[in-house]
Structure 1
Amino acid sequence: MPETAQMDARQAAERFVRVWERGWAAHDVEALLALYAEDCVHRSMPFREPHRGRDELAAYLRWSFEAERVTDVRFSAPLVGPDGVAAAEFRVRSEEGGAAATLAGCVFARFDARGLAVETRDYWHSADGHREPAGRLFLL
């Protein structure tokens, strides 16, 4: 995207969930990093220290993907508030150490005018086995 181009929050959020869905399934760290501003802040869990900047985020993603073999990734359509903050639910089925696991959660994202994520925050929970969250993913 040219340096002067602008993207509204809805477009940015829709691109964000599409790329994350494909990128997580393929463990494509470079595709995921392209969604973030250089000085982004990502919080992977409420009580962990944030990952600051693309380099820290890249290290976290590589570490997260290391032992995971993904079998299915789903993201809901994003909801975008009037302040431009977007939220989307996700569900990931994987195999870790030969055991089936499911991770389900929600991501909140704030974007700059270029459509890059400047701040993201995840809330998630994992469970043994391949499961569906109670009810379906919001708006999926």
Structure 2
Amino acid sequence: MEQYAEDCVHRSMPFREPHRGRAAPAEYLRWSFAGERVTDVRFCAPVVGVDGVAVAEFRVLAEEDGAPSTLAGCVFVRFDAAGLAVETRDYRHTVEGRREPEGALFFG
């Protein structure tokens, strides 16, 4: 978790309380996927913008109770001058079955 600043803030949903601290993103992911068996994860190359902000699309194939599902979304990350993540935010959607995101910009 050294890639996160000590006071990192992760927002997993727009109206949910943020997860705070260096360990919070990993704790959140363990909680999120506790009932699932993740079989494949893909991230695109990030798009890096101004002010230390990067964005990347992702896709997760998983199984819950033997039923396949696909989660796809974007993660936004703001880095400090030392290159540590100080703020992260996810937007995502889940569907039943195995699917590739329609019109995904960066998966090839």
Q: Figure out how many residues of one structure are paired with residues of the other and give that number.
A: 108
After TM superposition, where is structure 1 displaced by more than 4 Å over at least 4 residues in a row? Answer: none
Query: For the Cα contact (< 8 Å) 1:70–1:94, is it kept in 2?
Result: yes
Structure 2 length normalisation: TM-score? 0.90
Q: Which has the higher helix share?
A: 1
Cα deviation, residue 137, structure 1 = 4.2
Alignment gaps of 5+ in structure 1: 1-32
Q: Which has the higher strand share?
A: 2
- What SS does the corresponding residue of 1:54 show, helix, strand or coil? coil
Alignment gaps of 5+ in structure 2: none
1:1-140 matched pairs, under 5 angstroms: 33-138=1-106, 140=108
Structure 1 length normalisation: TM-score? 0.71
> Taking every aligned residue pair, what percent have the same amino acid on both sides?
73
Query: For the Cα contact (< 8 Å) 1:105–1:122, is it kept in 2?
Result: yes
CA RMSD of aligned residues (A): 1.5
In the alignment, residue 34 of structure 1 is paired with which amino acid?
A: E
